């Protein structure tokens, strides 16, 4: 592995570390703020790997986290959710590289829809059952060691948050 390849993986691993800590935030607003910073690292990581659909999808995730952590009413509305999902579909069309391009877009649309419910349980379920499995497969094909580790660590982090906060405590809608 060259120094450049190691540096690219380290950028991704920085995103992994931040994303792990995001699920330890009990408050959704803080969860989305930490994820925003994580997505910046992942965008750079995937773009440097040449995984453009994933990189552009993470740019949209960055915007999503900004919206969901915002106090601006429209940013947290169903309209904003629809705009973000349409942006994901546009990213898919613009960066199409075969069936593999479907994975990050489908994962991010599921996570966006869950995020806009403001229900911590639904956010974690979408992450554990849809987002992480699809991103693991995409990361394997993209050559993202950090992406694979991120999703495995994220699964663990979500499980820890469920144990830590309790499953019933996570079934509420935050305003």
Provide the token pair at 4: 């450049």
Q: Is the pLDDT of residue 173 over 80?
A: no
Asked whether the beta carbons of 157 and 123 are under 8 A apart, the reply is no
The average pLDDT across 102-118 equals: 96
pLDDT of residue 174: 60
Residue 132, pLDDT > 90, answer yes
Q: Which of 88, 137, 125 is nearest to 109 (CA)?
A: 88
Q: Higher-confidence residue: 16 or 50? A: 50
Q: Is pLDDT above 80 for 9?
A: yes
31 — phi, psi (to 5°)?
Answer: -55, -50
What pLDDT does residue 175 have? 58
Residue 169 has pLDDT above 90, yes or no: no
Residue 162 pLDDT level (bands cut at 50, 70, 90): confident
Query: What is the structure's pLDDT at 172?
Result: 67
Which has the closest alpha carbon to 108: 95, 127, 90, 93? 127
Q: Tokens for 52?
A: 């453009």
Q: What is the pLDDT of residues 28-47, one digit of tens each?
A: 788 888 888 998 999 999 99
Residue 143: the pLDDT is 96
Question: Helix, strand or coil for residue 172?
Answer: coil
Among 71-85, 108-122, 152-166, the minimum mean pLDDT is found in 152-166
Domain boundaries, the chain: 3-170
- The per-residue pLDDT for range 61-98, each reduced to its tens digit, is 889 988 988 889 999 999 999 999 999 999 999 999 99
CA-CA distances (angstroms) from residue 55 to 27, 124, 159, 163, 168? Answer: 27, 22, 26, 32, 35
pTM reported for the whole predicted model: 0.86
């Amino acid at each position: 592995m060259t120094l450049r390849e190691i540096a690219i993986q380290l950028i991704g691993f920085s995103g992994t570390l931040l994303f792990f800590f995001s699920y330890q935030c009990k408050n959704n607003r803080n969860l989305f703020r930490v994820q925003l910073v994580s997505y910046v690292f992942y965008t750079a990581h995937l773009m440097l790997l040449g995984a453009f659909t994933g990189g552009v999808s993470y740019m949209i995730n960055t915007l999503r986290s900004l919206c969901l952590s915002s106090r601006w009413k429209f940013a947290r509305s169903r309209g904003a959710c629809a705009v973000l999902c349409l942006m994901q579909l546009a990213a898919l069309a613009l960066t199409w590289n075969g069936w593999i391009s479907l994975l990050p877009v489908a994962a991010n649309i599921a996570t966006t829809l869950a995020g806009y419910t403001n229900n911590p349980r639904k956010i974690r379920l979408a992450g554990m059952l849809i987002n992480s499995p699809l991103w693991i497969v995409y990361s394997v094909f993209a050559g993202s060691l950090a992406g694979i580790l991120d999703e495995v660590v994220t699964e663990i982090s979500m499980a820890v948050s469920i144990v830590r906060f309790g499953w019933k405590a996570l079934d509420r809608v935050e305003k």
